[in-house]
Amino acid sequence: AQYEALAARNLQAAEDWYRARCARLHERAARSQEAVRASRREAGECRRQLQARLVEMESLRGAHQSLERQLQELEERHNAEAAGLQDTIGQLEDDLRNTKNEMARHLREYQDLLN
């Protein structure tokens, strides 16, 4: 009877230890599953953010290229205008020289007439 009582207690203790161990393992498994779910959610959010950043980057790249083209067109226009203005300045300088020479000639003629 004592052996049976001891065996029953040992059996009960083993079953209790087994149940407690299983409960802890189930708890750990549940926590691990939740951690995996959280990690998956975080990875999904990171993927979404990455996609958003890639789209934004492509958009900015397009805007950058457009601005570069506009800048190049403006520089070309500016250079053409500057060349046109330089030509105008050259013509005006020639006209001024010719006018000065003509005035000097008229002045000499006037002096000759006065003499």
State the 10-residue block means of pLDDT for the chain, 115 residues long.
Answer: 91 95 95 95 97 97 98 98 97 98 97 95
Two tokens, residue 67: 């601005």
pLDDT score of 77: 97
Please state the pTM of the whole predicted model: 0.55
* Tokens 């000097």 -> residue: 104
**Distance from the Cα of residue 92 to its chain's centroid:** 50
